[in-house]
Chain A
Amino acid sequence: MKSTRIKKKRQGRWLDRLLTAHGIAGYLFLYLPIVILVIFSFNTSKYAGAWRGFTLDWYKTLFANRSIGAALKNSLIVAGGSTLIATIFGTLAALAMERYDFRGKLAFDSVLYLPIIIPDIAMAVMLLLFFILAHLQLGLTTIVISHIAFNISFVAVVVRARLAFFDVTLEEAARDLYADEWQTFRRVTLPLIMPGILGGALLAFTLSIDDFVITFFTAGPGSTTLPLRIYSMVKLGVTPEINALSSMMLLFSMALVFLSIMLQKGGGSGIEIV
Chain B
Amino acid sequence: MLPRSRRETTRLLFLISPSLFWLTLFFVLPLLLVFAISFGQRGTYGGVRWNLTLENYGRFLDPLYLRIFGRTIVIALTTTLICLLAGYPLAYFIATRPARWRNSLLLLLMIPFWTNFLIRTYAWLLILRDHGLINTLWTGVLHNFMLWAAAAVPLPLWDPLVSATASPLPLFGSNLAIIIGLVYGWLPDMVLPCYAAIERFDFSLVEAAQDLYANRRKTFLRVILPLTMPGIVAGSILVFIPSLGAYVTPDLLGGAKSVMIGNVIYSQFMSARDYPFGSAISLVLMAVMLIGTLLYFRLGTENEVN
Q: Do A and B come from one complex?
A: yes
B269–A128 touching, CB < 8 Å: yes
B93–A126 touching, CB < 8 Å: no
Chain A residues with CB below 8 A from B247, complex form:
120-121, 213
Q: How far is the CA of A49 from the CA of B140 in the complex (A)?
A: 10
Interface positions, chain B 3-54, Cβ under 8 Å from A, are: 3, 8, 12, 14-16, 18-20, 22-24, 26-31, 33-34, 37, 48
B127–A36 touching, CB < 8 Å: yes
Chain A residues with CB below 8 A from B23, complex form:
111-112, 115, 149, 152
B216–A34 touching, CB < 8 Å: no
A27–B108 touching, CB < 8 Å: yes
Q: How far is the CA of A272 from the CA of B110 in the complex (A)?
A: 10
Is B241 an interface residue when CB atoms closer than 8 A count as contact? yes
Interface centre among A23, A50, A108, A145 (most CB of B within 10 A): A23
Chain B residues with CB below 8 A from A213, complex form:
247-248
**How many B residues face the partner with a CB closer than 8 A?**
84
Interface positions, chain A 95-141, Cβ under 8 Å from B, are: 95-96, 99-102, 108, 111-112, 114-115, 117-123, 125-130, 132-133
Interface positions, chain A 133-158, Cβ under 8 Å from B, are: 133, 145-146, 148-149, 152, 156
Task: Give the interface SS of chain A, mostly helix, strand, loop or mixed.
Answer: helix
Q: How far is the CA of A129 from the CA of B114 in the complex (A)?
A: 30
Q: How far is the CA of A12 from the CA of B119 in the complex (A)?
A: 40
Binding site for B on A (CB under 8 A): 8, 11-12, 15, 19-20, 22-23, 26-27, 29-31, 33-34, 36-37, 40, 47-50, 88-90, 92-93, 95-96, 99-102, 108, 111-112, 114-115, 117-123, 125-130, 132-133, 145-146, 148-149, 152, 156, 206, 210, 212-213, 217, 227, 230-231, 234, 238, 242-243, 246, 249-250, 253-254, 256-257, 261, 272-274
A93–B114 touching, CB < 8 Å: no
B30–A19 touching, CB < 8 Å: no
Interface centre among B94, B111, B275 (most CB of A within 10 A): B111
Q: How far is the CA of A26 from the CA of B90 in the complex (A)?
A: 7
A122–B120 touching, CB < 8 Å: no
Chain B residues with CB below 8 A from A49, complex form:
131-133, 135-136, 140
* Closest partner residue, chain B, to A142 (CB atom): B26
Is B152 an interface residue when CB atoms closer than 8 A count as contact? no
Binding site for A on B (CB under 8 A): 1-3, 8, 12, 14-16, 18-20, 22-24, 26-31, 33-34, 37, 48, 86, 89-90, 92-94, 96, 105, 107-112, 114-120, 122-127, 129, 131-133, 135-136, 140, 184, 187-188, 192, 196, 216, 241-242, 244-248, 252, 262, 265-266, 269, 275, 278-279, 282, 285-286, 289, 293
With A96-B16, A253-B116 as contacts: A33 and B127 at CB distance below 8 Å: yes
Q: How far is the CA of A26 from the CA of B285 in the complex (A)?
A: 31
Interface centre among A11, A129, A257 (most CB of B within 10 A): A129
A238–B129 touching, CB < 8 Å: yes
B242–A125 touching, CB < 8 Å: no
Chain A residues with CB below 8 A from B252, complex form:
234
Give chain A nearest CB distance to B72 CB in angstroms: 11
Q: How far is the CA of A73 from the CA of B275 in the complex (A)?
A: 32
